[in-house]
């Protein structure tokens, strides 16, 4: 096994720091194939899922934390670099005034539909043109909670490797499969094997979400936050369902809708 090294960086003009801070921008993440995750808790979730950073930046407090030892050892054993650094550099990396004292730089996974084992989990989340990174991260977190296999992002969605999405995922970015695909590729892939596609779709003839018996693997399709999904996507689903809406609103937040649906599917499986 390769062994990494431990070093110290204190200069704000250090070339590695300059390069890594650019990872807050999507085009640099894409170019480097790297993303940034803040916080000892998330880094520990990643480690427990077998994912280690290429670079691990530690402030004094982070390095001294009881959980940091295992993270440092595992990072070095995997060939990564552990860098002791200053609060100012951690601020520069994270773009925050009060940064976490642990920042990890990770390789971006690049799974495709062909890499997914749909039978590995009974539930999968599918989101179409998801715009809000907080919603994306929250969906990953929910997917983890319900024992889903992962999240499939359709068409032009927000970047799952942005800092806000990673943070909202609470580490689930490392435990859930994540695939970005176009609808035109997703649908043939879905139909090439078992799988029930369930669209959340508010219309008069849509079934109540509790009136349907879900079949594994269940693919829960959630549409864009403001427009919902195209009618053709809903029409291609095996079933269209809606949650009861008792008030003035005609929709739920996308991450909330995904969770309410997902728990119904899970609850049916628990019975």
Closer to a copy of itself at the Cβ: 66 or 244? 244
Closer to a copy of itself at the Cβ: 86 or 253? 253
User: With the CA atoms of 249, 227, 169 and 124 taken in that order, what torsion angle do they form, in degrees rounded to the nearest 10?
Assistant: 100
Q: How far is the CB of 225 from a copy of itself (least distance, A)?
A: 10
Alpha-carbon separation of residue 36 from 87, 123, 200 (angstroms): 16, 28, 33
DSSP string, 73-89: HHHHHTT-EEEE--HHH
- Other residues' Cβ atoms within 10 Å of the Cβ of residue 103: 28
Q: How far is the CB of 260 from a copy of itself (least distance, A)?
A: 5
**Three-state SS at 253:** coil
Closer to a copy of itself at the Cβ: 8 or 96? 96
Q: How far is the CB of 52 from a copy of itself (least distance, A)?
A: 16
Closer to a copy of itself at the Cβ: 19 or 131? 131
Q: How far is the CB of 161 from a copy of itself (least distance, A)?
A: 19
H or E element at residue 221: strand 218-222
Mutual orientation of helices 254-270 and 133-145 as an angle, nearest 10°? 10
Residue 23 makes CB contacts below 8 A (sequence gap 6+) with 29, 32, 34, 35, 36, 105
Q: How far is the CB of 120 from a copy of itself (least distance, A)?
A: 13
Q: How far is the CB of 245 from a copy of itself (least distance, A)?
A: 5
Residues that bind a copy of itself (CB under 8 A): 45, 48-49, 134, 138, 141-148, 168, 170-172, 175, 210, 243-249, 251-253, 255-256, 259-260, 263, 266-267, 270
Closer to a copy of itself at the Cβ: 142 or 218? 142
DSSP string, 79-136: T-EEEE--HHHHHHHHT-SS--SEEEEEEPP---GGG--GGG-SEEEEEES---HHHH
Closer to a copy of itself at the Cβ: 91 or 268? 268
């Amino acid at each position: 096994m390769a062994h990494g090294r431990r070093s110290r960086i204190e200069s704000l003009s250090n070339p590695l720091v300059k390069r890594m801070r650019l990872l807050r921008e999507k085009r640099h993440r894409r170019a480097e194939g790297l993303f940034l995750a803040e916080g000892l808790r998330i880094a520990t979730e990643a480690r427990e899922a077998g994912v280690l950073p290429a670079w691990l930046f530690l402030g004094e407090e982070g390095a001294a934390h009881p959980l940091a030892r295992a993270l440092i050892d595992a990072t070095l054993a995997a060939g990564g670099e552990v860098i002791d650094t200053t609060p100012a550099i951690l601020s520069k990396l994270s773009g925050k005034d009060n940064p976490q004292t642990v920042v990890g730089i990770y390789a971006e996974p690049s799974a495709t539909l062909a890499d997914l084992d749909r039978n590995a989990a009974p539930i999968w989340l599918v989101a179409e043109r998801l715009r809000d990174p907080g919603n994306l991260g929250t969906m990953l977190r929910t997917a983890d909670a319900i024992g889903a296999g992962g999240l499939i992002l359709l068409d032009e969605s927000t970047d799952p490797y942005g800092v806000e999405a990673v943070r909202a995922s609470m580490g689930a970015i490392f435990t859930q499969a994540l695939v970005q695909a176009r609808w035109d590729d997703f649908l043939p892939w879905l139909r090439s094997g078992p799988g029930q596609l369930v669209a959340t779709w508010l219309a008069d003839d849509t079934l109540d979400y509790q009136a349907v018996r879900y079949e594994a693997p269940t693919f829960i399709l959630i549409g864009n936050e403001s427009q919902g999904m195209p009618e053709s996507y809903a029409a291609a689903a095996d079933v269209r369902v809606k949650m009861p809406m008792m008030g003035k609103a005609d929709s739920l937040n996308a991450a909330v809708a995904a969770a309410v649906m997902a728990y119904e599917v899970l609850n049916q499986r628990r019975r």
